[in-house]
Structure 1
């Protein structure tokens, strides 16, 4: 009888732990699916935004908006809003914060159904605020549902699901964009579908478990106090040596995010020699698909194999991303004309422009980006677990500043100048990330008791 009780008790204990872990992993999967839908709408829209804006202007001279300027506003506002985003997450909890952010994305995508210059720029401001809130909430929610052992896995799985958005959205665009000039019915169809997909993703966020205010009876005074603490905490983090070094890595990630999400696809679409009929715009969607494929392969690989890769540290994966990106930058430099990021061109490049090389670079850009981002999420979730909202807000602040700067100089700087800037900051960001990884003694933190006993 005693033996039976012992077995039952042991069985219940055994069942309880996997149940908790399964629930957390389901939360991560649901979070990834919701972001996949929302960013199917936004990332696809961002990649074709400059092309669509130019097409609208070709039919209506009064529409003088600039796609790069709109994206610059988004990232500039997002950078500033990241300082208040931790406070918003403290008050609402990460779940409602993400719902609010998702709603702003839907409004921004829908503005192209009734294009007005002032509406585009106004909603660029609105989505900048929403982006800061949704990403700070996402980082906080991912940390809540992870521990040191599962953070790399969860961040990798989330990243892979998120980047599936590049597959579905750009697959859709590759079938819709069949003409050199994008006509009004095509724009209506494209952004109508993207708006619906964004709304579906926002609704899915309501089904996340947990992520509400931990104590619904907190008084307003307590909430305000927590907001001030979160705000001050973000400033304090920025002054630490470790975070200051990581900021260079964050800055590079913002530069290259802007490049592959808004500039590179435009450059491909403007290079007439990539297509015998001079209609290279139809390859923008294919480029986006390959970027997404690289992101998914990288995210899934470093997520599913995190238990093995963690033994060697995060820096080898970041260094791999650096090598991949440097190869991509070199090939882009010699393969595409310098002015391709600014206007349609028949200009030659250093080699005869080759579509296969251009699309291979798209894949490399996505793969390298996954290397950097999965490891940045992982190191923040582990080193700043007790202050994750402030840490992720700083990450997005610096990344957004870099994005705004990149889209600002993209209006005048040619493709080759942008690639050279990326190469410089890739080198700096990789060095500083590796320095933090080594100084944090992450290798010693991963040692098991058996390893320690063996070394003794």
Structure 2
């Protein structure tokens, strides 16, 4: 097998492992607040009605803290070890919904936050040790597009189990003897449906553990950064992380990293919750499945497109991709703004939208556009972290996640009291600011690379002449 095919194989396996562990997490996030709201209605003492939002806030709080130490852990381990550990922590989360308990729920949220930090540190290290400068943009996009099939798989799981459980769902309000009109009409999840869903998600996560354990770990020739050569100690890597955190270049990219966190949290949890809480959608029981399939399809299509164009257009994975991401973020936020009630993310809502109601077609359209924008934003973040800090790439990946996790943590803590329009107006504005600052950093990075290439070429020519 030649090197390029080996790189693609490694990227595909990495993406497949991510697909397995993220199938559960992403699909859970689409319905988490609605599921917990349903459990709370049946047994109020069992778990808080807003534990879905607060639990995700705990996830991102621990994610943020763990990101400060994950480069140090990578310095004394390997990307593969990080990936296996992260998959174990991801598996612990869906298991808890088979015997829902408030204490275990928040404990597993904390574990999942640490798992996130370990996964993304391992992912970044694995990609840079199995890619060259010429193939990094393509490999990142290819791996990401494979991984994002998780939402297509998750939509299938949601649709099948919803179909199997649909009879019980239809009679659930009467069985609960709920008299409040809003609660009669909002989307509810039965105990049977919850058990089926989270058993399937647990099985997918276990498959992720097996995939990461079996992946090849040998570095490729001329890789960006070797995983086998340990250049830092635990303490040294932590000091580098702290210095990277306050570097001027990182401060300029902070809006981009915060955009990744806010945007992902919004389309992954807040908007799906708003659709579930919109009482006009009570008959659209397959809405989470349709939306999940659409987001995954958009991510996959755009990931393949970026990978294809990066081979033919130099630096396509930077400014052009960021521009596409900002434009599509604006478009999907406008569609959500016009079709969703302002209070829908906070509580079951009867309110009328500005222009039109949700439908399966609209949910698919919004999800597909959202997937395209999210793929672009995540791709440019991965590429710029790999290129802008050539001597501290693990630290750059990690610090970018610190800002991402901080933004997500704040969003989820405030979600129970935040109107929808704060997101639909704020995200497009932030994407424009992030794009402008990103262009400046990307331009300087490309200039730096040209100088390094010229210096290497001159040194080679001098050495050649001396040998003659």
TM-score w.r.t. the length of structure 2 is 0.86
> What residue is the counterpart of 1:302 in the other structure?
306
Secondary structure class of the residue paired with 2:24 = helix
Segments of 5+ residues of structure 2 without an aligned counterpart are 170-186, 220-226, 458-468
Secondary structure class of the residue paired with 1:302 = helix
Correspondence for 2:28 among 42, 45, 62: 45
CA apart distance, 1:446: 11
Aligned pairs for 1:57-456 (under 5 A) are 57-65=40-48, 66-177=51-162, 178=166, 179=169, 180-210=187-217, 214=228, 226-274=233-281, 278-311=282-315, 314-355=318-359, 356-441=361-446, 445=450
Q: Deviations over 1:18-71 (max 9, x none)?
A: 723332322111111111111111111121111110111121111233101000
Q: CA RMSD in A?
A: 2.2
CA apart distance, 1:184: 0.9
CA apart distance, 1:300: 1.2
> What residue is the counterpart of 2:172 in the other structure?
none
CA apart distance, 1:73: 0.4
How far, CA to CA, are the matches of 2:420 and 2:285 in structure 1?
Answer: 17
Contact map agreement 2:63 2:116 (CA 8 A) in 1 = yes
How far, CA to CA, are the matches of 1:398 and 1:190 in structure 2?
Answer: 31
Contact map agreement 1:151 1:382 (CA 8 A) in 2 = no
Secondary structure class of the residue paired with 2:286 = helix
CA apart distance, 1:320: 1.2
CA apart distance, 1:344: 2.1
How far, CA to CA, are the matches of 2:89 and 2:40 in structure 1?
Answer: 25
**How many pairs does the alignment contain?**
423
How far, CA to CA, are the matches of 2:29 and 2:89 in structure 1?
Answer: 15
Contact map agreement 2:317 2:383 (CA 8 A) in 1 = no
Secondary structure class of the residue paired with 1:84 = helix
The change in CA–CA distance for 1:281 and 1:256 in structure 2 (over 3 A counts) is farther
How far, CA to CA, are the matches of 1:208 and 1:125 in structure 2?
Answer: 27
Contact map agreement 1:101 1:133 (CA 8 A) in 2 = yes
CA apart distance, 1:307: 1.6
The change in CA–CA distance for 1:134 and 1:211 in structure 2 (over 3 A counts) is farther
CA apart distance, 1:420: 1.9
CA apart distance, 1:384: 2.7
How far, CA to CA, are the matches of 2:390 and 2:218 in structure 1?
Answer: 16
Contact map agreement 1:86 1:393 (CA 8 A) in 2 = yes
Query: Comparing 312-321 with 61-70, which one deviates more in the overlay?
Result: 312-321
CA apart distance, 1:204: 0.8
How far, CA to CA, are the matches of 2:405 and 2:302 in structure 1?
Answer: 22
The change in CA–CA distance for 1:258 and 1:289 in structure 2 (over 3 A counts) is same
How far, CA to CA, are the matches of 2:411 and 2:444 in structure 1?
Answer: 30
Query: Comparing 171-180 with 43-52, which one deviates more in the overlay?
Result: 171-180
How far, CA to CA, are the matches of 2:260 and 2:385 in structure 1?
Answer: 15
How far, CA to CA, are the matches of 1:257 and 1:402 in structure 2?
Answer: 10
Contact map agreement 1:174 1:285 (CA 8 A) in 2 = yes
Q: Deviations over 1:330-358 (max 9, x none)?
A: 11111111111122222111113142334
Contact map agreement 1:322 1:427 (CA 8 A) in 2 = yes
CA apart distance, 1:412: 0.9
CA apart distance, 1:211: 6.5
How far, CA to CA, are the matches of 1:420 and 1:175 in structure 2?
Answer: 35
Q: Deviations over 1:365-406 (max 9, x none)?
A: 111011111121112222234322111111111111111111
Q: Deviations over 1:230-266 (max 9, x none)?
A: 1111122222222221121011110000001111111
Q: Deviations over 1:274-314 (max 9, x none)?
A: 4xxx3334301211111111111111110122122335561
Contact map agreement 1:166 1:292 (CA 8 A) in 2 = yes
CA apart distance, 1:162: 1.0
How far, CA to CA, are the matches of 1:214 and 1:447 in structure 2?
Answer: 24
Contact map agreement 1:266 1:284 (CA 8 A) in 2 = no
Which contiguous aligned blocks of 4+ residues in structure 1 show a shift greater than 6 angstroms?
A: 446-449
How far, CA to CA, are the matches of 1:238 and 1:181 in structure 2?
Answer: 43
> What residue is the counterpart of 1:14 in the other structure?
none
The change in CA–CA distance for 1:243 and 1:208 in structure 2 (over 3 A counts) is same
> What residue is the counterpart of 1:55 in the other structure?
38
